Chains A and B, each alone.
Chain A
């Protein structure tokens, strides 16, 4: 009986939704060979997608830790990343030069945007998430106008036939397509591809974050999130910590977007980044984070699980049921995860 109780406790801590999704993923992998889906190809796809999305998910961590909640305003960082990428491409920078130029241009923009964003969130403590969502949305809509108006001139990126403004999708073929994915990458057999560069880059950024939360500033940031009164009593400037966390999240969003683009191969402007915050939020929650606590392990685990589901459902479910259910599953899993986190009793802050 005792062991049952313990198992119950473990399940409780792990969370039912997470457990169901993990089992679901295992079942998907197990049934893959039955419907002629190659496991090595699938695994490789999952790894590529983890490298692609990992940093965007990591961008959730600083804000959650400092008590600013889930970063639905991620599009702000994504926009900084897009501006960096497009500017670097405008000067026809290629290869690693282009990639790092994009990051270097994006970081100050993200820092400035993040500063204003953080100032706004400090004004609206307790209501951050809703404000964040709409700051993200309106910034995407604002940039739609800017993509038309900004004076970019590289003909590869503009609408042809005398149209004005940037295209909705720009191929990275001539610039830095998969520059990280292909770096030190290797094949095993015909089907398995290991995107070493992206994963190493992700690991390095994760490590930097991990190390940061062990510095004095990092600890102060966590204290500001878990108990603002206590932190203030110990001389932590809570507002400054929150501000710093928002700037960090926004910068990570910008870098994450550039990494995403090099792997994806295209830059999507205009309404492209509109809903990009939601998969990242869902992934970190799936990995075991809550509205006010997230670790690097949550990020890695969550990205693996979430991208695993996204990779496996189209191929396996489609072959099993002969119909494309993946979109529905994606919507239900990601938003269900967010709902679960928002409604958990222990997370309801004291009013």
Chain B
């Protein structure tokens, strides 16, 4: 009995276990000090966890991995740009950015949810393309409208031609605002306590949210839309709300991410957000239909551990850092492919089981 449960545990957590083994092998090869690794992990946990949290609600509502979270990231960046323009620094700067980002996120989240409702059964690919599409709209707004239609006060934000935001913006007054608000040093490792408090607060919020009426509705919609509809749950509205929540969280997550990084790559910072957050969640053992907070933390830890070690490990092993870098890219995409494959196989299994059940009930 015990042996079987161990086997079950390994099988259902195969992805994180593979990554753990990989890390265990690659850390000695990379030759990086444990102190350096711990510091990197702490930094990256504080930087990226929030973004990954944004993915949980749509999974609960059965909408898969929300590739549309880049919409929230764009909203957050627009908020930060305006905060920088208005010269608001420190924590107020972050709050202003979040305040501006929230209504934009609600709007974009509504749009995303509406479109995903029109493409039931292929939400993921649709939200993925929507991310690309809105990237075009974002470029239009930021590159052509800002400084023109939307006034921007400070000329150092703008391109020399007088409108359009520069490619890279320094967040000098905002950099580390949250990280350094309350920070501790333990054995020479600096820990951004305030950031972790925010992250934990939202974890708590998500746990409590699942217990609310709305959270339960989402779970029901995620299990079976037809049954949920029969039970009087407004399916489409619930799905839209799930995406709106996800988009707002992604917006805040991107603001936390960028205050840690300290610069905005105006036209690139958001592009990788979705891919990395999703890869991290999947590395943590989640699937497109099942994800929890443990997956988030384990995933961010393992995925970013690999980020840190694979270039140096690749260099020491084959003498080429570029190879390690490509390996890392390959793993982040490969892991999503494998996780999606497992998800599809699971869906097929459920479908076949259901068909069998229906056939039996007919007989």
Contact surface of A with B, Cβ cutoff 8 Å: 72, 120, 123-127, 129-131, 133-135, 137-138, 140-142, 144-145, 148-149, 164-165, 270, 278, 323, 325, 327-328, 330-332, 335-336, 338-339, 342-343, 345, 348-349, 351
Contact = CB atoms under 8 A, between A and B. Distances in A.
Contacts of B329: 141, 144
B19 interface: no
B128 A133 contact: yes
Interface stretch (B4-12, B23-31, B247-255, B341-349): B341-349
B38 interface: no
A142 B125 contact: no
Contact of A145 (B326, B341, B348): B326
B66 to A, nearest CB: 13
A270 B322 CA distance: 11
A138 B338 CA distance: 10
Contacts of B139: 327-328, 331
Nearest to B136: A331
B129 A335 contact: yes
B323 A124 contact: no
16 contacts: A123-B348, A125-B348, A126-B347, A127-B340, A130-B340, A131-B337, A131-B344, A137-B333, A144-B326, A145-B326, A278-B132, A338-B129, A339-B115, A345-B118, A348-B121, A351-B120
A253 B326 CA distance: 24
A80 to B, nearest CB: 18
Given A127-B343, A141-B334, A327-B139, A148 B322 contact: yes
Interface residues of B, number: 40
A135 to B, nearest CB: 6
A127 B143 contact: no
A146 to B, nearest CB: 9
Nearest 7 CB-CB pairs, A to B? A331-B136, A124-B344, A134-B337, A141-B330, A335-B133, A127-B344, A144-B326
Contacts of B130: 335, 339
B129 A339 contact: yes
Nearest to A120: B341
Contact of A138 (B118, B337, B348): B337
Interface in B101-139: 115, 118-122, 124-126, 128-130, 132-133, 135-137, 139
A124 B347 CA distance: 9
A134 B333 contact: yes
B323 A129 contact: no
Contact of A342 (B126, B136, B322, B343): B126
A138 B334 contact: yes
A110 B188 CA distance: 54
Nearest to A144: B326
Nearest to B134: A335
Majority secondary structure of chain B interface residues (helix, strand, loop or mixed): helix
Interface of B: 115, 118-122, 124-126, 128-130, 132-133, 135-137, 139-140, 143-144, 320, 322-323, 326-327, 329-330, 332-334, 336-337, 340-341, 343-345, 347-348
A120 B334 CA distance: 14
A72 B124 CA distance: 13
Given A133-B125, A133-B128, A124 B133 contact: no
A144 B343 CA distance: 27
Contacts of A72: 125
B330 A130 contact: no
B278 to A, nearest CB: 10
Given A124-B345, A339-B130, A343-B119, A328 B326 contact: no
Contact of B333 (A124, A141, A336, A345): A141
A149 B115 CA distance: 43
Contacts of B124: 130
Given A339-B115, A339-B129, A351-B121, A144 B345 contact: no
For B120, B129, B340, B341, which residue has the most chain A Cβ atoms within 10 angstroms? B129
Contact of B129 (A142, A164, A270, A342): A342
Given A124-B345, A278-B132, A144 B330 contact: yes
Contacts of A349: 121
A335 B336 contact: no
For A131, A135, A165, which residue has the most chain B Cβ atoms within 10 angstroms? A131
Contacts of B136: 328, 330-332, 335
Contacts of A343: 115, 118-119, 126
Contacts of B340: 124, 127, 130-131, 134
A130 B133 contact: no
B344 A325 contact: no
Given A144-B326, A345-B118, A129 B133 contact: no
Nearest to A147: B326
A60 to B, nearest CB: 15
B46 to A, nearest CB: 28
B129 A331 contact: no
B115 A127 contact: no
A149 B337 CA distance: 23
Given A148-B326, A165-B322, A332-B140, 18 more contacts: A123-B348, A124-B345, A129-B122, A129-B125, A134-B340, A138-B334, A144-B330, A164-B320, A325-B140, A328-B136, A328-B140, A331-B135, A332-B136, A335-B132, A335-B136, A342-B119, A342-B129, A351-B120
Contacts of B345: 123-124
For A124, A125, A148, which residue has the most chain B Cβ atoms within 10 angstroms? A124
B146 to A, nearest CB: 13
A335 B343 CA distance: 25
Given A137-B337, A144-B330, A325 B144 contact: yes
B317 to A, nearest CB: 12
Contact of A130 (B125, B140, B326, B348): B125
Contacts of A149: 323
A41 B347 CA distance: 53
Contacts of B323: 145, 148-149
B193 to A, nearest CB: 37
Given A133-B125, A335-B132, A342-B126, A348 B119 contact: yes
Nearest to A338: B129
A145 B115 CA distance: 37
